[in-house]
Amino acid sequence: MMNTVAFGSGVSIVGLPGSGKTTFLAALWHLVQTGEIETKLRYGSMSNQDYAYLNKIVKLWRKAKEQGRTQIAGMKSVSMNLLDGEERSVSVTFPDVPGEKYRRMWEERKLDEDLVKNLSSSNIMLLLNGDRIRAPAWITEREALKASVEGGKKVEEEPEEWLPAHAPTQVQLIDLLQHFRRAPLDRGPRRVAVMIGAWDKAEGEGKTPAEFQSAKLPMLDQYLKSGRDGWTFRTYGLSAQGGEYDENDENNPKAKTRKEAEHLRDFDLASKRIRLLRDGSETHDLTEPLEWLMN
């Protein structure tokens, strides 16, 4: 008889638009469905029997094609039971919410009712695109740039209207995490796995994921390390695609193909495209951070 052990109430995948939430789910579904490589957790069953959505996104992932707007617009909550090495069942729920709704939390200070329900899980997987980080705009750097462009001449500029969307990436992410420590989302201290995506591009910095977070997202790094809001965290470098994919050709006759995508399709096992790095170690196993989050 299978023993059911509660490791936690679930995992919420959180990320701004373009952070790679759909790609992560597609890669995870491929891993646990095919069993191509050994993983910490393996597939047990689906709670809501909604295979169509997952099969749609994983088909594109295997073909090394970007997820189209149709797939993104159809994102929905996915619940599955994964099994550990002792045959214990771990219930994992992914409220796969479009990034625009997280952006709305920051820009409009509004929280949809469906988000309150979907984000009631105990632990967080925070995805961000390491190649699309909006850095702070330093006054000294802007002045130096102006001087070099204008030959040192003082130029009068019309002040640009500030909009919430202009805020640095790390400011928006910290605010999202703080939402989880305020009503109606507060569930007490939590774990968070910071997943720095597009690692195949970010690793050109020559840093470990933890060093990258400290250098490129220092405010987020200090916020997490301070323990102010009770977060226990780990930082990972993630490449769920393995490189650049072909553009999605659905309703787009001019979709671009990429040589890197052709190379990725040549892998003997598609699971080996996946790269997950932490503390000098590298694996293809996306269930490793899930196991940590659920413990």
Omega of the bond prior to 184 within 30 degrees of 0, cis?
Answer: yes
Least-confidence region, from 14-18, 45-49, 61-65: 45-49
Residues with Cβ within 8 Å of 20's Cβ and at least 6 positions away in sequence, in order, are 127, 129, 197, 198, 238, 240
Binned at pLDDT 50, 70 and 90, residue 265 comes out as very high
The DSSP bridge partners found for residue 125 are: 13, 193
Among residues 216, 211, 277, the alpha carbon closest in space to that of 242 is found at 277
What are the backbone dihedrals phi and psi of residue 42, each rounded to the nearest 5 degrees, phi first?
Answer: -130, 165
Look at residue 146 in the predicted model and tell me its pLDDT: 61
Least-confidence region, from 165-169, 183-187, 248-252: 248-252
Binned at pLDDT 50, 70 and 90, residue 76 comes out as low
Look at residue 248 in the predicted model and tell me its pLDDT: 82
Which domains can be identified in the chain, with CATH numbers?
A: 11-294 (3.40.50.300)
Q: Which residue has the higher pLDDT, 36 or 103?
A: 36
**Amino acid at the residue 59:** K
Contact assessment for residue 256 and residue 244, using Cβ atoms and an 8 Å cutoff: no
Q: Is the dihedral of CA 220, 222, 225, 227 positive or negative?
A: negative
Tokens of residue 260, six digits: 């890197």
Look at residue 236 in the predicted model and tell me its pLDDT: 98
Evaluate if residue 34 carries a pLDDT over 90.
yes
266 to 36, 168, 270, 290: CA distances (angstroms): 15, 38, 9, 28
The bridge status of strand 123-129 relative to strand 77-83 is: unpaired
Among residues 191, 194, 196, the alpha carbon closest in space to that of 207 is found at 196
Q: Which residue has the higher pLDDT, 17 or 66?
A: 66
The mean per-residue pLDDT over the stretch 235-264 comes to 87
Q: Record the pTM.
A: 0.84
